[in-house]
Chains A and B, each alone.
Chain A
Amino acid sequence: MKATAWMGRDSVKVIDVPDPTILSPRDAIVRISTTAICGSDMHLYHGYIPAMRKGDILGHEFMGEVVEVGPQVRNLRPGDRVVVPFPIACGHCISCQRGLYSVCENSNPNAGIAEKIMGHSPAGIFGYSHLLGGYAGGQAEYARVPFADVGPLKLPDEVPDEQAVMLADVFPTGYMGAEMCDIKPGQLVAVWGAGPVGLLAAASARLLGAERVFVIDRYPYRLRLAREHAGAETINYEESDVLDTLNELTAGRGPDACIDAVGLEGHHGNAAIYAYDRVKQGVRVETERPPALRQAILACRSGGVVSVVGAYGGFVDKFPMGAFMNRSLTMRTGQCHVQRYLRPLLERIQRGEIDPSFIVSHRMPLKDAAKGYKLFQKKQDECSKVLLTA
């Protein structure tokens, strides 16, 4: 089959690899109809996630048709149309049973490596480095889906691929980012990053009752999407000072909740501050570039919530612990526990409360994946989300 492989920094290539086979009784094989390039794939593309190997198949947002199931998969049959959550979760450990699927205790066969960096291991993720399991990803024609009796959701025919594939990662991730803010009537929420997750976090915050939502980015076309589709007000951090603007908009209180939807490759309006982190990250003294996280903490209302759904991998520098501690802030985080959001969010789509596909800007065949990565990386042609189709 054809699959998108990581070939080194800033290099992906569609190559021929063997078709996947069932390895465990709870596996299924899915023929992929639509898959997407995620902002977090950019961290792999740029070489910021450790333990990548040349030839690793990328992609953790995918959907398609079940073509084969293992003997213990009784809820799916060949022919079923499914979307597959990006975290791999066994469904039977304590974490899974408590709904914390992205910290499944069993699904990372390389848990030993992850423990050395993170203390304990999170779940395995499709196509996301050997640190998180060494699973082949879904930017391919087929994928092996472990624990297929737990993860994949069967889709009704009337929900098109373009909407359904958003359920694999970005919509639940954005939604969880908003949900963790515990939004009460009248509250104001600020979102750093107007990429797919930030836009969907902003839209979700509105769905969950936020009075006003502010989105911070530097790309006018992305900020326009935030205004037009997510009901947000926008701040371009290259044009105005974010903290001043947020203080003005909230009459000095600060947003009740701040969502970091940027993660480890943030930018900063001040060139000197950006250069500080960029250089340290470049020489690997610091693994992350966290200006958005720092700003979110400084901006947040005292006693408020900082919700982190942007991806981080290692260690951050100059963390404003004084502000965080003295102002009674709460931080909530996590890779999204997609499995617990699939059904409720599918229902929201079906009821017409939201159409998450507003973020999609480009569609192209799988064989053009390298072009898609480049477009998304350089944010050319107003690129906000790339779908790859069979």
Chain B
Amino acid sequence: MNPIDGVLLPELDSPVRDPHLPRALGWLSLALGASAVAAPGPLARLTGIDDSPAAGTVIPALGARELGHGLGLVAGRRPSGWAWTRVAGDAMDLSLLGWAMTDRSGERRRRLALTTAVVAGITALDVLAALSAGRARRTRDRTIRIDMAVTVNRTPAEAYRYWRDMENLPRFMSHVEAIRTIDLRRSHWTVRGPAGRHVEWDAEIVDDQPNRSIAWRSLPGTPVPNAGRVRFVPAPGERGTEVRVQLGYVPPAGAVGRAVAKVFGEEPEQQVRDDLRRFKQVLETGDVVRSDSSPDGISVRQQVMQRPAQPLPNGFRR
């Protein structure tokens, strides 16, 4: 799914990109592997094991392994997994070096010690790279991006005007409890999260094109980094306005939070779809549509455990 047009949100966009380090190490693997396969002699001399009869076969074998790491990191799909293969390779190299050092002395021992120090340094870099790649992947897995649209029988100007008054949003966004505008651009949001928790944040409008589009993002420090854009496009055939929404957010408890949300029937896509349905209802009919079994209007949760289609108990007034 596309990132949200023109909205930059560090928490949402930056960590999602794969870090550079694993890829750079991949190129190093390729270079090292190629030279080990093509010219094992100089490498053996450099590391101080040129006296061993096995060096001629072990070094090209290690080189082939390096080429594997390198290809995986440069061309593979999951750099986090490949970065850990490099760490495993480093462990193998270190133990081979330690074993080679036991029966050598003098200049060769010095070279071996130097090589060990360099490999140890590279191991530290590899661990760092593997961790950062894993972090990026997990953030990407947690990030929820939604594209959804509804057609509303109102002009783009009417739809824009209603949405631009942020305090209207809780009328159709069922999980938003309240929005208080702080000034023309900034607003304070209070939202019901999974398992009855409340989440609050400040948001700002970052792009405001009257009658066409509004984009917003949360301000730094929110527990739920989020951003969104809504566009109001005239629907073909004089059918009002296509209201197209893009949303992105990183839920507080990650995958666990999403699992909890699913248990409660609060699937994010369905939530947004229902919100847009309510937006259409409010703009076209003046209110959310209420039936006896869904007196508060559409909600997935209501649909799962609906009361019978009977009037509400006496005294119930909205």
Assess the A56–B308 pair: CB atoms within 8 A: yes
In Å, the complex CA distance between A23 and B309 comes to 14
Q: Are A18 and B311 in contact (CB under 8 A)?
A: yes
Interface residues of B in 241-300 (CB under 8 A from A): 270, 273-274, 277, 280-281, 284-287, 289-295, 297-298, 300
Whether B309 lies near A135 (C-beta < 8 A) is: yes
Q: What is the interface of chain B mostly: helix, strand, loop, or mixed?
A: loop
Tally of B interface residues using CB under 8 Å? 38
Which residues of A sit under 8 angstroms from B311, Cβ to Cβ? 17-21, 136, 144
Q: Which of A89-97, A175-183, A302-310, A347-355 contacts B (4 or more CB under 8 A)?
A: A89-97
Chain B 295-307, CB-CB to A under 8 Å as 1, else 0, gives 1011010110011
Q: Any chain B CB within 8 A of the CB of A152?
A: no
- Residues of A whose CB lies within 8 Å of any CB of B are 3, 5, 17-21, 23-26, 53-57, 72, 90-94, 97, 105-113, 124, 127, 130, 133-137, 144, 146-147
Which chain A residue lies CB-closest to B285?
A90
Task: Decide if A146 touches B308 in the complex (CB within 8 Å).
Answer: no
Which residues of chain B are within 8 angstroms of A105 by Cβ–Cβ distance? 280, 284
B294 touches A109 (CB 8 A): yes
Find out whether the CB atom of A19 lies under 8 angstroms from the CB atom of B294: no
Query: Chain A nearest CB: distance from B311 CB in Å?
Result: 4
Asked whether, in the complex, the Cβ of B273 is within 8 Å of the Cβ of A134, the reply is no
A134 near B291: Cβ-Cβ < 8 Å: yes
Measured in the bound complex, the distance between the Cα atoms of B294 and A97 in whole Å is 25
B:105-146 near A, CB below 8 Å = none
Residues of B within 8 A of A5 (CB): 308, 310
- Central interface residue in B291, B295, B312, B313, by most chain A CB within 10 Å: B291
Q: Tell me if B300 and A112 are in contact (CB < 8 A).
A: yes
- B310 lies within 8 A of A124 (CB): no
With a cutoff of 8 Å between Cβ atoms, the chain A residues found around residue B300 in the complex are 112
Residue B168 at the A interface, CB < 8 A?
no
Interface set of B (CB-CB < 8 Å, partner A): 151, 153, 239-240, 270, 273-274, 277, 280-281, 284-287, 289-295, 297-298, 300, 302-303, 306-314, 316-318
A-chain residues with CB within 8 Å of residue B290 when the two chains form the complex: 23-24, 109, 146
Please, which residues of chain A bring their CB within 8 A of the CB of B240? 94
Interface CB pairs A-B, < 8 A, 13: A23-B290, A24-B289, A25-B286, A53-B307, A56-B310, A90-B284, A105-B284, A106-B284, A109-B297, A112-B300, A124-B289, A130-B293, A134-B292
Bound complex: CA of A343 vs CA of B316, how far in Å? 36
- Contacts A19-B314, A92-B153, A94-B239; is A109 near B308 (CB within 8 Å)? no
Min CB distance, B287 to chain A, in Å? 5
The distance from the CB of A106 to the nearest CB of chain B, in whole angstroms, is 5
Closest CB of chain A to B179's CB: distance in Å? 23
Q: Which residue of A lies closest to B240 (CB)?
A: A94
Residue in B286, B297, B310, B318 whose beta carbon sits within 8 Å of that of A136 in the complex: B310
Q: A21-B311, A21-B312, A134-B306 are in contact. Are A111 and B153 (CB under 8 A)?
A: no
- Chain B residues whose CB sits within 8 angstroms of the CB of A111 once the complex forms: 277, 298
Q: Which B residues are CB-close (under 8 A) to A92?
A: 153, 284-285
Q: Is the CB of B284 within 8 A of A57?
A: no
Residues of the A chain whose Cβ atoms lie less than 8 Å from the Cβ of B286? 25-26, 72
B281, B285, B308, B313: the one within 8 Å of A53 (CB)? B308
Residues of chain B with a CB closer than 8 A to A94's CB? 151, 153, 239-240
Q: How far is the CB of A271 from chain B (nearest CB, A)?
A: 38
The answer to whether B293 touches A112 (Cβ under 8 A) is no
**Bound form: Cα–Cα A108–B316 in Å:** 22
- The CA-CA distance from A336 to B181 in the complex, in Å, is 46
Partner of A25, one of B287, B289, B306: B287
